Amino acid sequence: MKRNQLGWNEFLNSAFTEYEVQGYTVGRVMLEHKRLYRVETDHGECLAEVAGKYRFEAVTREDYPAVGDWVVLSERQEEGKATIHALLPRFSKFSRKAAGLTTEEQIVAANVDTVFLVQSLNYDFNPRRLERYLVMAWESGSNPVVVLTKSDLCEDIPEKIAEMEAVAFGVPIHAVSVKDETGLEELASYFTVGKTVALLGSSGAGKSTLTNYLLGEEKQLIQKVRSDDDKGKHTTTYRELYMLPTGGLVLDTPGMRELQLWEADGAISHSFQDIEELAEQCYFRDCKHGNEPKCAVQGAINEGTLDAGRYQSYVKLQRELAFLERKNDKRAQLAEKEKWKKITSGVRGGKKK
């Protein structure tokens, strides 16, 4: 079945059973555009929108489909259209706080097996930014892989890889060049049939160039980078999932200028295990790692075994997460209130009938 090529698995199959007996079909969201979805099914591609009941029962953005999601459909094959009635559970989800002042989740990728964290080996190279991406990748439930592009522009690749290894413990790191076609064979193992890889990184990092290479055609427009700072303009303007001719799927995403945490409590401990292990060695259990005596963290910084910038990044992410948790508590209360408001209005509407 085509769905197997799209990433169907036993987890999804179990969740779909109750809908299948009702005569519904299933498809995967390949592209989202203003509440209209391009969905790939066993019967081909169709345009779909959510049912009125679905829209009424949805409370937050998380309730709506995102690219990579599997949705329950009633298809109108002769029209090439469908209606979405339900969303199957996600086995992974890469989220960030939506840009701006509002506290709202933005789902960047759903049901992804591997996340390529893409940085180029030029002005885009930034270990501090990678720390943030790693925290969110671990939280998503996907396996992170660091891909360093434009290796043809770098003269000290081993040193750059060593810098990344210092923050990406145990995470595979690949240096590649699409221009020279070097290192790319190492990426092939991630694109087996039915497996999905999402490309995440800033604008100009080379995600679209890599996507075009994997597809074997120019699907994504490539724009030249600025000569003064080597940063590219936004090439990809929306998230889109592609099936590769060699098997597997790739999800290209727009460059993200702003990457704020959404939820990442356990993932911070995973990503900064070196700092948390040092903290356990501090003389005082409630050590704040400031001016306290016998602080193992400050001792490591003074000895040069812990980068001060890495520790500051850890502190910043902890503060950001604490602030977000306070905001989310209020948001959850409002969402619950809105949910019961809808239920109450529905009951009242039924009584009037």
Q: H/E element holding 301?
A: helix 296-303
CATH number reported for the structural domain that contains residue 289 in this entry: 1.10.40.50
Q: Are residues 41 and 122 in the same domain?
A: no
Whether 115 is covered by a domain: the verdict is yes
Residue 201 among known ligand-binding residues: yes
The H or E element that residue 323 is part of is: helix 308-352
**Mean of the pLDDT values across residues 222-233?**
47
pTM of the complete model beyond 0.85 = no
What pLDDT was estimated at residue 229? 45
157 in any annotated domain: yes
Amino acid of residue 56 = F
User: Annotation-wise, does 203 bind a ligand?
Assistant: yes
Closest C-alpha to 270, from 171, 199, 196, 164:
171
The answer to whether residue 141 sits within a structural domain is yes
Instruction: Provide CB contacts within 8 A for 203, sequence distance 6+.
Output: 231, 232, 233, 234, 235, 254, 255, 256, 257
**Residue 170 pLDDT grade (very low, low, confident, very high; cuts 50, 70, 90):** confident
Average pLDDT over residues 255-284: 70
Average pLDDT over residues 247-258: 75
Q: Which amino acid is at 213?
A: Y
- Under DSSP, the state recorded for 177 is B
207 is in an annotated binding site: yes
Same domain as 236, residue 108: yes
Other CB atoms closer than 10 Å to residue 268's CB: what's the count? 22
User: Which of the four pLDDT bands, split at 50, 70 and 90, describes residue 156?
Assistant: very high
User: Letter for the amino acid at 271?
Assistant: S
pLDDT digit string, tens, across residues 178-218: 999 999 999 999 999 999 999 998 888 899 999 999 998 76
Tell me, what's the pLDDT at 232? 45
3-state SS assignment for residue 353: coil
- Do 73 and 110 lie in one domain? The reply is no
Q: Both 77 and 113 in a single domain?
A: no
Tell me: is residue 14 an annotated ligand-binding position: no
Tell me, yes or no, whether 248 and 105 share the same domain: yes
Domain of 51: which CATH number?
Answer: 2.40.50.140
Residues contacting residue 62 through CB under 8 Å, at least 6 positions apart: 95, 105, 107
Whether 109 and 223 map to the same domain: the answer is yes
Does residue 116 share a domain with residue 65?
no
Residue 147: CATH number of its domain: 3.40.50.300
Identify whether 52 is part of a domain: yes
Asked if residue 309 belongs to a known ligand binding site, the reply is no
Confidence tier at 329 by pLDDT (50, 70, 90): low
183 is in an annotated binding site: no
| Residue 346 counted as domain residue | no
Tokens of 272: 């900064």
Residue 226: CA atoms inside 13 Å, Cβ hemisphere, count? Answer: 9
Task: Name the amino acid, one letter, at 125.
Answer: F
Are 135 and 159 in contact, with CB atoms under 8 Å apart?
Answer: no
Number of domains in the chain: 3
- The last residue of a domain, from among 230, 252, 274: 252
Q: Both 115 and 246 in a single domain? A: yes
Q: Check the annotation: does 295 bind a ligand.
A: yes
pLDDT greater at residue 129 or residue 226: 129
Residue ranges making up the domain that contains 36: 2-87
The DSSP secondary structure of 217-281, one letter per residue, reads: S--S---PBPTTT-PBPP---S-EEEE-TTSSEEEE----S--B-SS-HHHHHHHTHHHHHHHTT
Q: Residue 259 falls within a domain, yes or no? A: no
Q: In terms of DSSP H, where are the helices of 41-126?
A: 52-57
Tell me, yes or no, whether 233 and 278 share the same domain: no
Q: Are residues 243 and 100 in the same domain?
A: yes
Pair 287, 216 in one domain: no
Please report whether residue 258 resides in a domain.
no
User: What does each C-alpha distance from 127 to 121, 156, 162, 164 come to in angstroms?
Assistant: 11, 15, 11, 6
Question: Is 282 marked within a binding site?
Answer: yes
The predicted pLDDT at position 259 comes to: 52
Looking at the domain assignment, is residue 349 inside a domain?
no
Residues 216-242: what's their mean pLDDT? 59
Is residue 271 marked as binding? no
- Those residues with Cβ within 8 angstroms of residue 336's Cβ, 6 or more apart along the chain or in another chain: none
| Residue whose C-alpha is closest to residue 19's, from 95, 55, 77, 71 | 71
pLDDT at 160: 95
Q: Are residues 104 and 137 in the same domain?
A: yes
